[in-house]
Chain A
Protein backbone atom coordinates (compact mmCIF):
# COMPACT_ATOMS: atom_id res chain seq x y z
CA UNK A 1 0.00 0.00 0.00
CA UNK A 2 1.44 3.33 -1.03
CA UNK A 3 -1.32 5.75 -0.18
CA UNK A 4 -3.75 5.87 2.68
CA UNK A 5 -7.07 4.61 1.63
CA UNK A 6 -8.88 7.23 3.69
CA UNK A 7 -6.86 10.42 3.34
CA UNK A 8 -4.62 9.45 0.48
CA UNK A 9 -1.52 10.55 2.28
CA UNK A 10 1.80 8.98 1.34
CA UNK A 11 2.63 5.89 3.27
CA UNK A 12 6.20 4.69 3.48
CA UNK A 13 6.78 1.06 4.19
CA UNK A 14 9.54 -0.21 6.47
CA UNK A 15 10.65 -3.46 7.92
CA UNK A 16 9.38 -3.63 11.51
CA UNK A 17 11.93 -6.26 12.47
CA UNK A 18 14.80 -3.90 11.70
CA UNK A 19 13.52 -1.07 13.79
CA UNK A 20 16.06 -0.06 16.38
CA UNK A 21 14.05 0.81 19.44
CA UNK A 22 17.09 1.12 21.59
CA UNK A 23 18.26 4.04 19.58
CA UNK A 24 15.13 6.06 19.38
CA UNK A 25 16.72 9.19 17.98
CA UNK A 26 18.22 7.29 15.08
CA UNK A 27 14.96 5.57 14.29
CA UNK A 28 12.92 8.73 14.27
CA UNK A 29 15.45 10.37 12.00
CA UNK A 30 15.30 7.58 9.44
CA UNK A 31 11.58 7.38 9.37
CA UNK A 32 10.76 11.01 9.57
CA UNK A 33 7.51 11.69 7.75
CA UNK A 34 7.99 14.00 4.78
CA UNK A 35 5.07 16.17 5.75
CA UNK A 36 5.21 17.42 9.28
CA UNK A 37 1.85 17.16 10.99
CA UNK A 38 0.53 17.49 14.54
CA UNK A 39 -1.63 14.43 14.42
CA UNK A 40 -1.64 10.78 13.73
CA UNK A 41 -4.48 9.01 12.13
CA UNK A 42 -5.05 5.38 12.88
CA UNK A 43 -7.20 3.02 10.90
CA UNK A 44 -8.81 -0.05 12.34
CA UNK A 45 -9.91 -2.17 9.55
CA UNK A 46 -10.61 -5.30 11.53
CA UNK A 47 -12.17 -3.62 14.57
CA UNK A 48 -10.55 -3.25 18.05
CA UNK A 49 -10.67 0.54 17.95
CA UNK A 50 -12.63 0.69 21.19
CA UNK A 51 -10.18 -1.51 23.07
CA UNK A 52 -7.30 0.58 21.75
CA UNK A 53 -9.09 3.78 22.73
CA UNK A 54 -9.54 2.59 26.31
CA UNK A 55 -5.87 1.70 26.62
CA UNK A 56 -4.79 4.98 25.12
CA UNK A 57 -7.02 6.92 27.47
CA UNK A 58 -5.66 5.25 30.57
CA UNK A 59 -2.13 5.70 29.31
CA UNK A 60 -2.77 9.39 28.74
CA UNK A 61 -4.23 9.72 32.22
CA UNK A 62 -1.32 7.92 33.88
CA UNK A 63 1.15 10.21 32.10
CA UNK A 64 3.77 7.53 32.34
CA UNK A 65 6.29 9.61 30.39
CA UNK A 66 6.35 12.24 33.07
CA UNK A 67 6.96 9.76 35.86
CA UNK A 68 9.95 8.15 34.23
CA UNK A 69 12.38 10.53 35.88
CA UNK A 70 11.12 10.10 39.42
CA UNK A 71 10.91 6.34 39.43
CA UNK A 72 14.35 5.88 38.02
CA UNK A 73 15.89 7.94 40.79
CA UNK A 74 13.89 6.74 43.76
CA UNK A 75 13.40 3.05 44.05
CA UNK A 76 9.84 2.03 44.60
CA UNK A 77 9.56 1.69 48.34
CA UNK A 78 5.91 1.58 49.06
CA UNK A 79 5.30 -1.09 46.58
CA UNK A 80 2.62 -3.06 48.30
CA UNK A 81 2.29 -6.67 47.42
CA UNK A 82 -0.45 -8.55 49.25
CA UNK A 83 1.72 -11.66 49.06
CA UNK A 84 4.37 -9.95 51.20
CA UNK A 85 2.07 -8.72 53.96
CA UNK A 86 1.21 -10.26 57.33
CA UNK A 87 3.10 -12.95 59.22
CA UNK A 88 4.10 -14.76 56.05
CA UNK A 89 5.63 -11.58 54.81
CA UNK A 90 7.68 -11.09 57.99
CA UNK A 91 8.94 -14.66 57.87
CA UNK A 92 9.78 -14.31 54.22
CA UNK A 93 11.64 -11.10 54.91
CA UNK A 94 13.66 -12.73 57.68
CA UNK A 95 14.49 -15.66 55.43
CA UNK A 96 15.53 -13.29 52.74
CA UNK A 97 17.93 -11.33 54.96
CA UNK A 98 19.34 -14.56 56.39
CA UNK A 99 20.09 -15.76 52.94
CA UNK A 100 21.82 -12.52 52.12
CA UNK A 101 23.93 -12.66 55.30
CA UNK A 102 24.92 -16.21 54.58
CA UNK A 103 26.12 -15.25 51.16
CA UNK A 104 28.11 -12.35 52.53
CA UNK A 105 29.72 -14.59 55.13
CA UNK A 106 30.53 -17.25 52.61
CA UNK A 107 32.20 -14.70 50.45
CA UNK A 108 34.12 -13.27 53.37
CA UNK A 109 35.36 -16.62 54.59
CA UNK A 110 36.33 -17.91 51.22
CA UNK A 111 39.70 -16.19 51.69
CA UNK A 112 40.09 -17.49 55.22
CA UNK A 113 39.44 -21.04 54.03
CA UNK A 114 42.17 -20.57 51.53
CA UNK A 115 44.51 -19.35 54.22
CA UNK A 116 43.68 -22.29 56.46
CA UNK A 117 44.31 -24.71 53.64
CA UNK A 118 47.73 -23.22 53.22
CA UNK A 119 48.56 -22.92 56.93
CA UNK A 120 50.78 -25.95 57.10
CA UNK A 121 52.73 -24.82 54.06
CA UNK A 122 53.17 -21.35 55.48
CA UNK A 123 54.41 -22.75 58.77
CA UNK A 124 56.79 -25.08 56.93
CA UNK A 125 58.17 -22.10 55.06
CA UNK A 126 58.63 -20.22 58.30
CA UNK A 127 60.38 -23.24 59.80
CA UNK A 128 62.83 -23.55 56.95
CA UNK A 129 63.68 -19.86 57.04
CA UNK A 130 64.13 -20.11 60.76
CA UNK A 131 66.49 -23.04 60.41
CA UNK A 132 68.50 -21.19 57.80
CA UNK A 133 68.68 -18.21 60.09
CA UNK A 134 69.78 -20.22 63.09
CA UNK A 135 72.58 -21.69 61.01
CA UNK A 136 73.59 -18.17 60.19
CA UNK A 137 73.31 -17.29 63.86
CA UNK A 138 75.57 -20.18 64.79
CA UNK A 139 78.15 -19.18 62.24
CA UNK A 140 78.20 -15.75 63.85
CA UNK A 141 77.20 -13.73 60.84
CA UNK A 142 73.86 -12.62 62.15
CA UNK A 143 72.80 -9.07 62.71
CA UNK A 144 70.20 -7.58 64.96
CA UNK A 145 67.80 -7.61 62.06
CA UNK A 146 68.09 -11.30 61.39
CA UNK A 147 67.68 -12.17 65.03
CA UNK A 148 64.63 -9.95 65.24
CA UNK A 149 63.26 -11.64 62.16
CA UNK A 150 63.94 -14.97 63.74
CA UNK A 151 61.88 -14.12 66.78
CA UNK A 152 58.97 -13.18 64.58
CA UNK A 153 59.18 -16.56 62.91
CA UNK A 154 59.33 -18.34 66.22
CA UNK A 155 56.15 -16.62 67.20
CA UNK A 156 54.59 -17.42 63.88
CA UNK A 157 53.66 -21.01 64.01
CA UNK A 158 53.49 -24.51 65.28
CA UNK A 159 53.61 -27.06 62.42
CA UNK A 160 51.11 -29.64 63.69
CA UNK A 161 49.17 -28.28 66.62
CA UNK A 162 47.98 -31.00 68.98
CA UNK A 163 44.21 -31.12 69.00
CA UNK A 164 41.65 -33.10 70.95
CA UNK A 165 40.94 -35.08 67.79
CA UNK A 166 44.55 -35.97 67.08
CA UNK A 167 45.61 -36.84 70.64
CA UNK A 168 42.44 -38.16 72.23
CA UNK A 169 42.87 -39.17 75.85
CA UNK A 170 46.50 -38.07 75.98
CA UNK A 171 45.50 -34.62 74.80
CA UNK A 172 46.70 -32.63 77.79
CA UNK A 173 49.97 -34.51 78.01
CA UNK A 174 50.70 -33.99 74.35
CA UNK A 175 49.69 -30.39 74.66
CA UNK A 176 52.07 -30.00 77.59
CA UNK A 177 54.94 -31.40 75.53
CA UNK A 178 54.23 -29.13 72.62
CA UNK A 179 53.83 -26.14 74.93
CA UNK A 180 57.13 -26.90 76.63
CA UNK A 181 58.87 -27.07 73.27
CA UNK A 182 57.26 -23.81 72.26
CA UNK A 183 58.02 -21.99 75.52
CA UNK A 184 61.64 -23.07 75.44
CA UNK A 185 62.30 -20.25 73.01
CA UNK A 186 60.61 -17.67 75.19
CA UNK A 187 61.43 -18.39 78.80
CA UNK A 188 65.08 -17.50 78.34
CA UNK A 189 64.17 -14.18 76.77
CA UNK A 190 61.49 -13.47 79.39
CA UNK A 191 63.95 -14.02 82.23
CA UNK A 192 62.68 -17.44 83.15
CA UNK A 193 59.12 -16.54 84.03
CA UNK A 194 55.93 -15.81 82.12
CA UNK A 195 52.40 -15.27 83.28
CA UNK A 196 49.81 -17.80 82.17
CA UNK A 197 47.83 -15.04 80.47
CA UNK A 198 50.78 -14.06 78.27
CA UNK A 199 51.43 -17.69 77.41
CA UNK A 200 47.80 -18.16 76.50
CA UNK A 201 47.96 -15.32 73.97
CA UNK A 202 51.32 -16.29 72.47
CA UNK A 203 50.55 -19.97 72.24
CA UNK A 204 47.20 -19.46 70.61
CA UNK A 205 48.67 -16.97 68.19
CA UNK A 206 51.28 -19.52 67.20
CA UNK A 207 48.66 -22.22 66.81
CA UNK A 208 46.77 -19.97 64.46
CA UNK A 209 43.44 -21.68 64.00
CA UNK A 210 43.33 -24.68 66.33
CA UNK A 211 42.86 -22.54 69.45
CA UNK A 212 42.89 -23.97 72.95
CA UNK A 213 40.86 -22.91 75.96
CA UNK A 214 42.35 -21.41 79.15
CA UNK A 215 41.23 -24.57 80.92
CA UNK A 216 43.23 -26.74 78.50
CA UNK A 217 46.28 -24.53 78.99
CA UNK A 218 46.03 -24.82 82.76
CA UNK A 219 45.65 -28.60 82.61
CA UNK A 220 48.57 -28.91 80.22
CA UNK A 221 50.78 -26.76 82.46
CA UNK A 222 49.87 -28.87 85.48
CA UNK A 223 51.43 -31.83 83.67
CA UNK A 224 54.93 -30.33 83.39
CA UNK A 225 56.31 -31.86 86.56
CA UNK A 226 54.68 -35.23 85.92
CA UNK A 227 56.20 -35.35 82.43
CA UNK A 228 59.66 -34.25 83.60
CA UNK A 229 59.59 -31.18 81.42
CA UNK A 230 62.01 -28.37 82.30
CA UNK A 231 59.36 -25.91 83.48
CA UNK A 232 56.84 -25.62 86.28
CA UNK A 233 53.48 -24.04 86.88
CA UNK A 234 53.67 -21.76 89.90
CA UNK A 235 50.92 -20.01 91.80
CA UNK A 236 51.79 -16.87 93.73
CA UNK A 237 50.06 -16.00 96.97
CA UNK A 238 48.03 -13.37 95.12
CA UNK A 239 46.64 -16.08 92.85
CA UNK A 240 48.68 -15.07 89.80
CA UNK A 241 49.83 -18.13 87.89
CA UNK A 242 53.07 -18.29 85.97
CA UNK A 243 55.23 -20.80 84.19
CA UNK A 244 58.87 -20.71 85.19
CA UNK A 245 61.88 -22.51 83.88
CA UNK A 246 63.47 -24.99 86.28
CA UNK A 247 66.83 -23.54 85.31
CA UNK A 248 65.84 -20.22 86.82
CA UNK A 249 65.72 -19.93 90.56
CA UNK A 250 64.26 -17.32 92.88
CA UNK A 251 67.86 -16.58 93.75
CA UNK A 252 68.53 -15.42 90.19
CA UNK A 253 65.43 -13.24 90.23
CA UNK A 254 66.53 -11.72 93.53
CA UNK A 255 70.01 -11.06 92.17
CA UNK A 256 68.57 -9.42 89.06
CA UNK A 257 66.26 -7.14 91.06
CA UNK A 258 68.94 -6.29 93.62
CA UNK A 259 71.35 -5.44 90.84
CA UNK A 260 68.82 -3.03 89.32
CA UNK A 261 68.13 -1.39 92.68
CA UNK A 262 71.81 -1.03 93.47
CA UNK A 263 72.70 0.47 90.11
CA UNK A 264 69.58 2.52 89.40
CA UNK A 265 68.48 3.39 92.94
CA UNK A 266 65.13 2.69 94.56
CA UNK A 267 62.52 1.48 92.07
CA UNK A 268 58.78 1.09 91.76
CA UNK A 269 57.25 -2.03 90.24
CA UNK A 270 56.40 -0.09 87.08
CA UNK A 271 59.94 1.20 86.67
CA UNK A 272 61.36 -2.26 87.14
CA UNK A 273 58.86 -3.73 84.69
CA UNK A 274 59.88 -1.27 82.00
CA UNK A 275 63.58 -1.91 82.71
CA UNK A 276 63.15 -5.63 82.20
CA UNK A 277 60.35 -5.37 79.66
CA UNK A 278 58.16 -7.58 81.79
CA UNK A 279 54.55 -7.30 82.85
CA UNK A 280 53.91 -5.23 85.98
CA UNK A 281 51.84 -8.00 87.58
CA UNK A 282 54.72 -10.42 87.28
CA UNK A 283 57.30 -7.93 88.53
CA UNK A 284 55.06 -7.16 91.50
CA UNK A 285 55.04 -10.82 92.48
CA UNK A 286 58.79 -11.10 92.09
CA UNK A 287 59.34 -7.99 94.21
CA UNK A 288 57.16 -9.43 96.94
CA UNK A 289 59.06 -12.69 96.77
CA UNK A 290 62.40 -10.89 97.10
CA UNK A 291 60.97 -8.77 99.92
CA UNK A 292 59.90 -11.90 101.76
CA UNK A 293 63.51 -13.05 101.55
CA UNK A 294 64.45 -9.88 103.43
CA UNK A 295 66.66 -8.60 100.62
CA UNK A 296 64.69 -5.47 99.85
CA UNK A 297 62.31 -3.30 101.83
CA UNK A 298 59.48 -1.06 100.80
CA UNK A 299 58.67 2.59 101.28
CA UNK A 300 54.99 3.49 101.08
CA UNK A 301 54.34 7.16 100.51
CA UNK A 302 51.96 9.38 98.62
CA UNK A 303 54.08 8.71 95.54
CA UNK A 304 53.37 5.00 95.73
CA UNK A 305 55.38 1.99 96.80
CA UNK A 306 59.09 2.08 96.13
CA UNK A 307 61.55 -0.70 96.81
CA UNK A 308 64.94 -0.10 98.43
CA UNK A 309 67.94 -2.18 99.22
CA UNK A 310 67.30 -3.54 102.72
CA UNK A 311 69.50 -1.30 104.83
CA UNK A 312 67.35 -1.86 107.90
CA UNK A 313 68.10 -5.51 108.47
CA UNK A 314 71.87 -5.08 108.80
CA UNK A 315 71.93 -1.66 110.42
CA UNK A 316 73.97 -1.20 113.57
CA UNK A 317 73.91 2.13 115.33
CA UNK A 318 77.44 3.06 116.30
CA UNK A 319 76.99 5.72 118.95
CA UNK A 320 79.86 7.93 120.01
CA UNK A 321 78.52 8.81 123.43
Chain B
Protein backbone atom coordinates (compact mmCIF):
# COMPACT_ATOMS: atom_id res chain seq x y z
CA UNK B 1 0.00 0.00 0.00
CA UNK B 2 2.82 2.37 0.74
CA UNK B 3 4.70 1.81 -2.49
CA UNK B 4 4.45 4.64 -4.95
CA UNK B 5 2.36 4.57 -8.05
CA UNK B 6 4.18 5.64 -11.17
CA UNK B 7 2.08 8.21 -12.95
CA UNK B 8 2.54 8.57 -16.70
CA UNK B 9 4.14 11.80 -17.93
CA UNK B 10 0.80 13.11 -19.19
CA UNK B 11 -0.21 13.43 -15.52
CA UNK B 12 2.18 16.39 -15.37
CA UNK B 13 0.74 18.08 -18.47
CA UNK B 14 -1.37 21.10 -17.41
CA UNK B 15 -3.99 20.89 -20.20
CA UNK B 16 -4.70 17.32 -19.01
CA UNK B 17 -6.68 18.90 -16.14
CA UNK B 18 -8.89 21.05 -18.38
CA UNK B 19 -11.72 19.20 -20.05
CA UNK B 20 -10.84 19.63 -23.73
CA UNK B 21 -13.49 20.85 -26.14
CA UNK B 22 -12.16 19.30 -29.33
CA UNK B 23 -14.00 15.94 -29.64
CA UNK B 24 -11.05 13.69 -30.50
CA UNK B 25 -8.79 15.33 -27.96
CA UNK B 26 -11.48 15.03 -25.30
CA UNK B 27 -12.08 11.38 -26.11
CA UNK B 28 -8.40 10.58 -25.80
CA UNK B 29 -8.13 12.64 -22.64
CA UNK B 30 -11.01 10.77 -20.99
CA UNK B 31 -9.62 7.41 -22.12
CA UNK B 32 -6.21 8.26 -20.64
CA UNK B 33 -7.77 9.36 -17.35
CA UNK B 34 -9.78 6.11 -17.11
CA UNK B 35 -6.63 4.14 -17.77
CA UNK B 36 -4.81 5.99 -15.00
CA UNK B 37 -7.71 5.62 -12.53
CA UNK B 38 -7.98 1.88 -13.17
CA UNK B 39 -4.23 1.36 -12.85
CA UNK B 40 -4.08 3.47 -9.69
CA UNK B 41 -7.00 1.60 -8.08
CA UNK B 42 -5.52 -1.74 -9.02
CA UNK B 43 -2.14 -0.75 -7.68
CA UNK B 44 -3.58 0.27 -4.31
CA UNK B 45 -6.38 -2.32 -4.33
CA UNK B 46 -9.10 0.27 -4.11
CA UNK B 47 -12.68 -0.26 -5.19
CA UNK B 48 -14.70 2.75 -4.17
CA UNK B 49 -14.17 6.27 -5.52
CA UNK B 50 -15.60 9.14 -3.53
CA UNK B 51 -15.35 11.89 -6.07
CA UNK B 52 -15.30 15.12 -4.08
CA UNK B 53 -12.93 13.67 -1.48
CA UNK B 54 -10.60 12.17 -4.03
CA UNK B 55 -10.11 15.54 -5.70
CA UNK B 56 -7.68 16.37 -2.91
CA UNK B 57 -5.64 13.23 -3.38
CA UNK B 58 -2.51 12.75 -5.48
CA UNK B 59 -4.50 11.09 -8.25
CA UNK B 60 -6.44 14.22 -9.24
CA UNK B 61 -4.56 17.00 -7.48
CA UNK B 62 -1.12 17.57 -8.96
CA UNK B 63 0.63 19.91 -6.56
CA UNK B 64 3.77 19.92 -8.69
CA UNK B 65 2.10 21.80 -11.54
CA UNK B 66 -0.67 23.32 -9.40
CA UNK B 67 -3.47 21.74 -11.36
CA UNK B 68 -6.51 19.91 -10.01
CA UNK B 69 -9.28 18.13 -11.80
CA UNK B 70 -12.72 19.70 -11.47
CA UNK B 71 -15.61 17.66 -10.08
CA UNK B 72 -17.57 18.07 -13.31
CA UNK B 73 -14.66 16.79 -15.37
CA UNK B 74 -14.23 13.76 -13.12
CA UNK B 75 -17.94 12.98 -13.39
CA UNK B 76 -17.56 13.11 -17.16
CA UNK B 77 -14.72 10.62 -16.95
CA UNK B 78 -16.67 8.27 -14.66
CA UNK B 79 -19.70 8.53 -16.97
CA UNK B 80 -17.51 7.37 -19.83
CA UNK B 81 -16.14 4.54 -17.68
CA UNK B 82 -19.67 3.45 -16.74
CA UNK B 83 -20.47 3.24 -20.45
CA UNK B 84 -17.38 1.08 -20.93
CA UNK B 85 -18.35 -1.14 -18.01
CA UNK B 86 -15.26 -0.26 -15.96
CA UNK B 87 -17.20 1.68 -13.34
CA UNK B 88 -20.63 1.90 -11.83
CA UNK B 89 -22.34 4.77 -10.07
CA UNK B 90 -23.62 4.29 -6.56
CA UNK B 91 -27.10 5.42 -7.47
CA UNK B 92 -27.89 6.76 -4.00
CA UNK B 93 -24.86 9.05 -4.02
CA UNK B 94 -25.99 11.35 -6.82
CA UNK B 95 -22.82 10.92 -8.82
CA UNK B 96 -20.49 11.29 -5.88
CA UNK B 97 -19.56 7.64 -5.29
CA UNK B 98 -18.61 5.15 -7.94
CA UNK B 99 -17.36 1.57 -7.90
CA UNK B 100 -14.26 1.17 -9.99
CA UNK B 101 -14.03 -2.15 -11.80
CA UNK B 102 -10.38 -2.76 -12.54
CA UNK B 103 -11.82 -6.26 -12.66
CA UNK B 104 -15.43 -6.63 -13.61
CA UNK B 105 -17.78 -8.58 -11.28
CA UNK B 106 -17.87 -11.42 -13.86
CA UNK B 107 -14.09 -11.71 -13.64
CA UNK B 108 -14.20 -11.71 -9.84
CA UNK B 109 -16.86 -14.43 -9.95
CA UNK B 110 -14.64 -16.63 -12.08
CA UNK B 111 -11.58 -16.00 -9.89
CA UNK B 112 -13.50 -16.87 -6.70
CA UNK B 113 -15.03 -19.97 -8.21
CA UNK B 114 -11.65 -21.20 -9.45
CA UNK B 115 -10.16 -20.64 -6.01
CA UNK B 116 -12.95 -22.68 -4.38
CA UNK B 117 -12.44 -25.48 -6.86
CA UNK B 118 -8.64 -25.46 -6.56
CA UNK B 119 -8.60 -25.32 -2.75
CA UNK B 120 -11.03 -28.21 -2.37
CA UNK B 121 -13.74 -26.30 -0.64
CA UNK B 122 -16.45 -27.60 -2.87
CA UNK B 123 -19.78 -28.02 -1.08
CA UNK B 124 -18.54 -26.25 2.02
CA UNK B 125 -20.24 -23.14 3.26
CA UNK B 126 -18.31 -19.90 3.65
CA UNK B 127 -19.53 -16.54 4.92
CA UNK B 128 -19.23 -13.41 2.87
CA UNK B 129 -16.93 -11.99 5.54
CA UNK B 130 -14.63 -15.01 5.34
CA UNK B 131 -14.21 -14.63 1.61
CA UNK B 132 -13.32 -10.97 1.75
CA UNK B 133 -11.51 -10.73 5.06
CA UNK B 134 -10.90 -14.26 6.38
CA UNK B 135 -7.48 -15.78 7.00
CA UNK B 136 -8.05 -18.35 4.31
CA UNK B 137 -8.06 -15.74 1.56
CA UNK B 138 -5.10 -13.80 2.93
CA UNK B 139 -2.78 -12.76 0.10
CA UNK B 140 -5.30 -13.53 -2.61
CA UNK B 141 -6.41 -11.03 -5.23
CA UNK B 142 -9.93 -10.72 -3.91
CA UNK B 143 -8.90 -10.38 -0.30
CA UNK B 144 -10.33 -7.06 0.83
CA UNK B 145 -12.74 -6.91 -2.07
CA UNK B 146 -15.47 -4.33 -1.66
CA UNK B 147 -18.61 -5.94 -0.29
CA UNK B 148 -20.93 -4.56 -2.94
CA UNK B 149 -18.70 -5.90 -5.69
CA UNK B 150 -18.35 -9.26 -3.90
CA UNK B 151 -22.12 -9.64 -3.61
CA UNK B 152 -22.52 -8.78 -7.28
CA UNK B 153 -19.96 -11.46 -8.15
CA UNK B 154 -21.66 -14.04 -5.94
CA UNK B 155 -25.00 -13.17 -7.55
CA UNK B 156 -23.43 -13.97 -10.89
CA UNK B 157 -22.28 -17.39 -9.59
CA UNK B 158 -25.79 -18.05 -8.27
CA UNK B 159 -27.23 -17.20 -11.68
CA UNK B 160 -24.69 -19.56 -13.32
CA UNK B 161 -25.87 -22.27 -10.96
CA UNK B 162 -22.50 -22.56 -9.23
CA UNK B 163 -23.40 -21.28 -5.78
CA UNK B 164 -26.25 -20.81 -3.39
CA UNK B 165 -26.76 -17.99 -0.91
CA UNK B 166 -28.08 -18.39 2.63
CA UNK B 167 -29.51 -15.41 4.46
CA UNK B 168 -27.75 -14.52 7.69
CA UNK B 169 -28.44 -11.96 10.41
CA UNK B 170 -26.46 -9.40 8.44
CA UNK B 171 -24.87 -9.17 5.04
CA UNK B 172 -21.52 -10.27 6.44
CA UNK B 173 -23.04 -13.36 8.03
CA UNK B 174 -24.56 -14.36 4.74
CA UNK B 175 -23.45 -17.87 3.81
CA UNK B 176 -22.40 -19.16 0.42
CA UNK B 177 -22.33 -22.76 -0.65
CA UNK B 178 -20.21 -23.52 -3.72
CA UNK B 179 -21.13 -26.48 -5.86
CA UNK B 180 -17.63 -26.75 -7.11
CA UNK B 181 -18.04 -27.11 -10.82
CA UNK B 182 -15.26 -25.43 -12.69
CA UNK B 183 -17.00 -22.59 -14.46
Question: Which residues of A are at the interface with B, using a C-beta cutoff of 8 A?
Answer: 266, 291-294, 297-301, 306, 308, 310-313, 315, 317, 319-320
Q: A297 to chain B: which residues have CB within 8 Å?
A: 15, 18, 20, 22, 25
List 5 A-B residue pairs with CB atoms under 8 Å apart, sorted by A's residue number: A298-B15, A300-B18, A306-B14, A311-B13, A312-B29
Q: Say yes or no: B25 contacts A312, CB within 8 Å.
A: yes
Q: B22 to chain A: which residues have CB within 8 Å?
A: 291-294, 297
> Considering only CB atoms, which chain B residue lies closest to A310 in the complex?
B25
Chain B interface extent, by class: 20 to 34
> Considering only CB atoms, which chain B residue lies closest to A292 in the complex?
B22
Question: Which residues of B are at the interface with A, using a C-beta cutoff of 8 A?
Answer: 6, 8, 10, 13-18, 20-22, 24-25, 28-29, 32, 35-36, 39, 66-67
**A contacts with B: majority SS:** loop
Q: Say yes or no: A294 contacts B39, CB within 8 Å.
A: no
Q: Say yes or no: A294 contacts B18, CB within 8 Å.
A: no
Q: Say yes or no: A317 contacts B8, CB within 8 Å.
A: yes
Q: Say yes or no: A315 contacts B10, CB within 8 Å.
A: yes
Q: A308 to chain B: which residues have CB within 8 Å?
A: 13-15
Q: Say yes or no: A312 contacts B13, CB within 8 Å.
A: yes
Pairs of residues from A and B, 9 with the lowest C-beta to C-beta distance, nearest first: A299-B14, A299-B15, A297-B15, A317-B8, A300-B18, A315-B10, A308-B15, A312-B29, A294-B22
Q: Give A120 to B131 CA distance when docked, in angstroms.
A: 98
- The answer to whether residues A298 and B13 also contact, given A313-B28, A317-B32 and a CB cut-off of 8 A, is no
Q: Say yes or no: A312 contacts B32, CB within 8 Å.
A: yes
Q: A298 to chain B: which residues have CB within 8 Å?
A: 15, 18, 20-21
User: A299 is contacted by which of B6, B8, B17, B39 (Cβ under 8 Å)?
Assistant: B17
- The answer to whether residues A301 and B66 also contact, given A311-B13, A312-B32, A315-B32 and a CB cut-off of 8 A, is yes
Q: Give A266 to B65 CA distance when docked, in angstroms.
A: 14
User: B18 is contacted by which of A292, A293, A299, A320 (Cβ under 8 Å)?
Assistant: A299
Q: A266 to chain B: which residues have CB within 8 Å?
A: 14
Q: Give A301 to B66 CA distance when docked, in angstroms.
A: 9
Q: Say yes or no: A315 contacts B28, CB within 8 Å.
A: yes
Extra A-B contacts (12), CB below 8 Å, given A293-B22, A312-B10: A297-B18, A297-B20, A297-B25, A301-B18, A301-B67, A312-B15, A312-B20, A312-B29, A313-B24, A313-B25, A315-B28, A319-B8
Q: B17 to chain A: which residues have CB within 8 Å?
A: 299
> Considering only CB atoms, which chain B residue lies closest to A317 in the complex?
B8
Q: A310 to chain B: which residues have CB within 8 Å?
A: 25
Q: Say yes or no: A319 contacts B39, CB within 8 Å.
A: yes
> Considering only CB atoms, which chain B residue lies closest to A320 in the complex?
B6
> Considering only CB atoms, which chain A residue lies closest to B24 in the complex?
A294
Q: Give A213 to B18 CA distance when docked, in angstroms.
A: 43
- The answer to whether residues A312 and B28 also contact, given A291-B22, A292-B22, A301-B67 and a CB cut-off of 8 A, is yes
Instruction: Tell me, rounded to whole Å, the shortest Cβ–Cβ distance linking B19 to chain A.
Output: 9
Among A310, A312, A313, A319, residue most surrounded by chain B Cβ atoms (within 10 Å)? A312
Q: Say yes or no: A317 contacts B10, CB within 8 Å.
A: yes
> Considering only CB atoms, which chain B residue lies closest to A303 in the complex?
B66
Q: B35 to chain A: which residues have CB within 8 Å?
A: 317
> Considering only CB atoms, which chain A residue lies closest to B13 in the complex?
A311
> Considering only CB atoms, which chain B residue lies closest to A297 in the complex?
B15
Q: Give A259 to B18 CA distance when docked, in angstroms.
A: 23
Instruction: Tell me, rounded to whole Å, the shortest Cβ–Cβ distance linking A1 to chain B.
Output: 118
Q: Give A292 to B15 CA distance when docked, in angstroms.
A: 15
Instruction: Tell me, rounded to whole Å, the shortest Cβ–Cβ distance linking A10 to chain B.
Output: 116
Q: Give A69 to B18 CA distance when docked, in angstroms.
A: 84
Among A292, A299, A311, residue most surrounded by chain B Cβ atoms (within 10 Å)? A299
Q: Give A298 to B20 CA distance when docked, in angstroms.
A: 7
Instruction: Tell me, rounded to whole Å, the shortest Cβ–Cβ distance linking A135 to chain B.
Output: 49
Q: Give A291 to B39 CA distance when docked, in angstroms.
A: 29
